[in-house]
Amino acid sequence: MIVIRSLLIVFGGTGDLAHRKIYPAIYNLYASGHLPEHFALLAIGRKDKSEEAFRSEAATAIKKFSRENRSGSQDDINHTVSRFYYHRADFTVYDGYDELKERMKDLEERYGTQGNRVYYLAVAPEHFGPIVENIGEMGLSNQNEGYDRVVIEKPFGKDLKSAVQLNNLIALVFSEEQIYRIDHYLGKEMLQNISVIRFANAFFEPLWNNKYIDHIQITSSETVGVENRGGYYESAGAMRDMMQNHMLQLLMLTAMEPPISLKTHDIRDEKIKILKSIVPISSQQVDTHVVRGQYGEGKLYGSPVPGYRSEDRVPPNSDTETYMAMKVEVENTRWVGVPFYLRTGKRMPVKTTNIVIEFRSLPKILYFKEFNNLEPNRLIIEIQPREGIIMRFNGKKPGTKNEIIPVELDFCQNCAIGEVSPDSYEKLLLDVMAGDSTLFTRWDEVEYAWKFMDNISLRWNEQAPDFPNYEAGTWGPPDAERLLRSDGRSWFNR
């Protein structure tokens, strides 16, 4: 068994991401017995605060954001934050890194982390460059004693050009093996399960192709609006926030060929082949294959909610999309002729991420001749919040002579009371410390994803959208319905 030793240095240590995700994840690792013994966390922030105050804020965040079944023990929380340290510094300027280096050395000795460091950049994207440069200048990336790894949050750039620039800059300081580009969807239990379902079962793989599958729908809908992230979201929109990364990851995992082994590079090689096989959407096709939307005011669970343009730090004439749907074609022998419809949006009626695989109908004989409206067979992979798999097929309605109804075989992995799957950040943080980059994005994945998306944003920039075009609490703009209707299909909402 490898003994993990690591010092985790969190840039942006007083920020939202650190409090919502990183600290609760560390706590959960501790509470489940997975936090390495030789571990300490050094948070860097610009605010002036004592270590005590920092720990108390971290403890409050842990209580608030930790997954339900771990809300418990104050002792565990105290133990966790006793390994948290705070260092005040303006991380964008070089002066001050000397002091940081001393601080790190001190903690390394105290916790026996043997010079292994993970730098987590939980900061706004414009700070990635300066921080990495400073780390490089100080010689803190040279892996002299142990490893030096850097974790970078998405979005990685805002288009291909800026992503290349950012990557070139990081590459001057860290090698590709040291870079962990995080996409937290990859740490979700059910995303990892897609491969198992596909490649460890005789049921599915033989049917997983254009001979049997009609089309695939991938949905990630959220009920929340932009909350307090209007400033960031204005520069991102649904395309850069969700589609370019999380949604394309879901597509890659659903569509990829079986890798020749479970080794990191073999899996990543297969994923990237999917991105390379996606048919680019031309400028004209953007109008017919892609839909963008922005929510106006509406109702959610019966209560009125404001439109996007009235949200905090959003200009009243904003053209930022909060919804995006598109039709994607993967041109390889397995998938040619099978469209993938992807959609994601905020302020939709339910929070769900799922993949719906819709099978072709049988020839029009027997029941398919007698009954006009038999539902197609569907396999639904539920990623969240419910984690499971549903097989939807046709069966005879009991007690009738010949009535046919859709029935479901339902496997729910997180329905048992008390079972809450580990948050993806738990898995991913542990993987970085252990040096497993399988569930992180390789540079060429980012590159090809932007290449594909850039065509769309170029076209969008030519024309002002007619926003808002969907009411909060609904399933998106009417054009999204038309996108499928024009192919004789419809969205399967759950």
Active site positions, annotated: 246
CB of 4 to ligand BG6, least distance (A): 25
Q: Considering the complex, what minimum distance in angstroms separates the CB of residue 492 from ligand BG6?
A: 19
- We find the least distance from the C-beta atom of residue 212 to ligand BG6, in angstroms, to be 29
Task: Give residues 315-374 in contact with ligand BG6 (rule: CB under 6 A).
Answer: 353
Of 57, 108, 222, 471, which lies in the binding site for ligand BG6, with binding defined by CB under 6 A? 222
For residues 219 and 102, give the distance between their C-alpha atoms in angstroms, rounded to a whole number: 47
Closest to 212 in 3D by CA, of 338, 332, 359 = 359
Residue 384, CA distances (Å) to 25, 220, 353, 392, 493 in order: 18, 9, 5, 18, 14
- Binding string to ligand BG6 for residues 118 to 137, with x set by CB under 6 A, is what? --------------------
Do residues 314 and 308 lie in contact, with contact meaning Cβ atoms separated by under 8 Å? yes
Q: Which is nearer to ligand BG6, 148 or 241 (CB)?
A: 241
Total chain residues near ligand BG6 (CB under 6 A): 3
Between 113 and 353, whose beta carbon lies closer to ligand BG6?
353
**Cα(220)–Cα(342) distance, integer angstroms:** 8
Compute the least distance from the CB of residue 374 to ligand BG6, in Å.
33
- Of the two residues 214 and 222, which places its CB atom closer to ligand BG6 in the complex? 222
Q: Which is nearer to ligand BG6, 14 or 249 (CB)?
A: 249
Of positions 148, 214, 241, 270, contacts ligand BG6 by CB under 6 A: 241
The residue at minimum Cβ distance from ligand BG6 is: 241
Q: How far is the C-alpha of 242 from the C-alpha of 222, rounded, in Å?
A: 11
- Looking at the DSSP bridge assignments, the partners of residue 380 are 356, 390
- In DSSP terms, 181 is beta-bridged to 152, 441
Q: What single DSSP character describes residue 414?
A: S
382 is a contact residue toward ligand BG6 (CB under 6 A) = no
Determine contact, residues 411/390, Cβ cutoff 8 Å: yes
CB of 226 to ligand BG6, least distance (A): 7
Distance in angstroms (rounded) separating the CA atoms of residues 341 and 482: 12
Taking the C-alpha atoms of residue 278 and residue 260, their distance in angstroms, rounded to an integer, is 21
Judged by beta carbon, residue 83 or residue 386, the one nearer ligand BG6 is 386
DSSP per-residue letters across 22-47:
IHHHHHHHHHTT-S-SEEEEEEEESS
Q: Which residues bind ligand BG6 (CB under 6 A)?
A: 222, 241, 353
